[in-house]
Amino acid sequence: MVSCLAATGAAAVSVKSPDGRVELVFSTDASGQLAYRVLYRGKPVIAESQLGLDLEGQKTLGAGLRMLPAERNSADETYRVVAGKSNPVRNRFNALGLRLEETGEPRRRLMLEARAYDDGVAFCYVTPGQEALKEFRLVRERTQFQLARDSVLYPLFLKSFQTSYENEFTKVAAAEVPPNQLIGLPLLVQIPGAAWLAITEADLENYAGMYLVNPGGGAPGLLEARLAPQVDAEAALAAPRGQPAPALPGGLCVTGTPPVRSPWRVIMVADQPGRLIESNLVINLNPPSAVADTSWIRPGKAAWDWWSGQVVTGVNFEGGMNTATMKYYIDFAARAGLAYMLIDAGWSARDDITRAIPAIDMPDILRHAEAKKVKIWLWLNWRDVRRQMDQAFPLYQKWGVVGVKIDYMDRDDQWMVEFYHSALQKAAEHRLMVDFHGAYKPDGMRRTWPNFVTQEGVLGLEYLKWSDRATPDHNVMLPFTRMLVGPMDYTPGGFDNVTRAEFKPRRKAPMTLGTRAHQVALFVVFESSMQVLADHPAAYEGQAGFDFIRAAPTTWDETRVLNGEVGGYVTIARRKGGEWYLGSITGWTPRELQVPLGFLGKGRFTAEIYADAPDAAENPKKLTVEKKAVDSSGRLQLKLAAGGGCAIRFLPE
């Protein structure tokens, strides 16, 4: 119901979450300027923030509006997913449909759809078909996020709209964000004394990806949307990686014929940052699965040749992109019980992903993998996929390949977003799972395309091959930032663990910063239904901690965040069936943590504990393994070394 605020014609309408704690309010002022605000437990967390769309050659669609009667509904459903942090997923919200019309000519119409969940709010613009607006040519979205008070931000600063999202998240006061500095999503925000927020988007389709900036000249804590501009698609196809695709003239971001619907603008809300990690809000805002039969989509772990530099030991051939090396890694996957082998860059002929190089006998490799009951994934450059997926994907299905890792997109303009969807659809038609690298942030489309099992869009372990940037401090920041919106193909599991003083970047057999227990715990802390083991076979076999990696699932029925401090430490427990797994990591600060075991529920369990050895700070490869009988009434004391961790498997007795 729309309520009058004053005789001037100002009006407001709101929608509350099912538990009543989160409220989203839309309003128009005396001039008809459209705005919104968000409250949590009665306290403002997003103050009045303007809304609007700048269309080419027209005045802003967002001013001079009047509200028409709103529509309301609600939903409470559960659905199952192939993979995720919990299963089944509950989708419960109250919804509002707000219709608006300009008070003056040309009397364009606009709609807002909004939802309020117990863990956040979301809204999207819908520009309906109408005589006054026959073509949609968007040059700017004026969505604002005015933080309600002095806040702390954890931004991912990016250099441009053409990015792989591979940078560190930082900590900065809202008032200190540089004007017009591009911020990637999600953005974690602490509103002191009120709430933790995460700003992101969901259901990105046929639209440009959203970023945030401090536009400058406004109130402290003001952020505004910026959309990736359209590029010359043909020039982008021809450009090598690292060379920006040229933007089209005119500053257009989105074009289409009404009705046009934007992605959801999402504000996750919680009293503690760990609650945001547990949230399924982003996938809930996406359409249901477009794949009827999902029986062929199988989460799992993979051996991998690229990170180690194709290291082989104890054999009479040289490691490299050749048949013998790929069979060597397949044999390891079979011994370790890994479902997959990922054959990375270099296997295919130049500019032809339907043919292998002479050193790769693909039929022989595939026969060997089938005999060992290991399935094959193949790395692909997106430009080749764009040209050849109609030929390559049916061929891969015929070969028995089960997945493709598509790399180097590095953009989320409208054209590239549609490439993601078309590639996922074509892959699903040929029963291929997909892992996107050089990718933008997750937006929940894995609900619609469940064959989209993981993606990069993160500064992962690969950076230790040429830098020291994938540190324990970086790792402990990721669960509270990047991982809030979806799975990360970080490729954990480096087992040449060294101290900071010992570390040197190297391309072959890289070292890993932090302890062995820290790397083992990442298989619980980091969410990815396709977990790719970074290191080479000899690094794992016979090593303490590898048994835990072999046992850990890659998809979960329940997730609980037991404790944590953004950028400091985190402990996450995840359940699969009757078993629980716990991962706890810290940055470079050592810690002692008390972990109550109430999450276990009824019954007694045997806890298999993989912990930092007493001297792990000086000898990071050393960890201890012990078994202990526990139940939900007890607690465990975890002692984490600098850069350390702990991993625990709880088996019901």
Residue 419 lies in a domain: no
What was the pLDDT predicted at 68?
A: 96
Give the pLDDT score at 6: 34
* pLDDT for the residue 1: 41
pLDDT score recorded for residue 8: 37
| Residue 375 falls inside a structural domain | no
Q: Is residue 361 part of a domain?
A: no
Kindly state whether residue 364 falls inside one of the protein's structural domains.
Answer: no
Peptide bond into 106 cis (omega under 30): yes
98, part of any domain:
yes
227, 258, 284 - which closes a domain = 284
- The tens digit of pLDDT for each residue in 150-184 reads 899 999 999 999 999 999 999 999 999 999 999 99
Kindly give the parts of the chain with pLDDT less than 70.
1-9, 241-242
- Looking up residue 646, the CATH number of its domain turns out to be 3.20.20.70
Identify the CA nearest to 360 among candidates 373, 372, 371, 376. 376
Domain boundary among 241, 257, 284: 284
d(CA 216, CA 342): 46
**Number of domain units in the chain:** 2
Give the pLDDT of residue 61. 96
Six-digit token string for 492: 């954990």
CATH assignment at residue 97: 2.70.98.10
Per-residue pLDDT at 219: 84
Alpha carbon distance 428, 397 (integer Å): 10
In this prediction, residue 7 carries a pLDDT of 32
Helix (H) / strand (E) containing 521? helix 516-525
Contact 346, 357 (CB under 8 A): yes
For residues 162 and 412, give the distance between their C-alpha atoms in angstroms, rounded to a whole number: 7
In the block, tokens 């967390």 appear at 45
273's tokens: 């940052």
Query: By residue range, what is the domain housing residue 15?
Result: 3-284
Q: What was the pLDDT predicted at 9?
A: 52
Domain limit, last residue, from 258, 284, 310: 284
Q: Does residue 620 sit within a domain?
A: yes
> Has residue 140 been placed in a domain?
yes
Is position 625 within any domain? yes
Nearest partner of 580 among 594, 601, 563, judged by Cα: 601
Q: What was the pLDDT predicted at 240?
A: 73
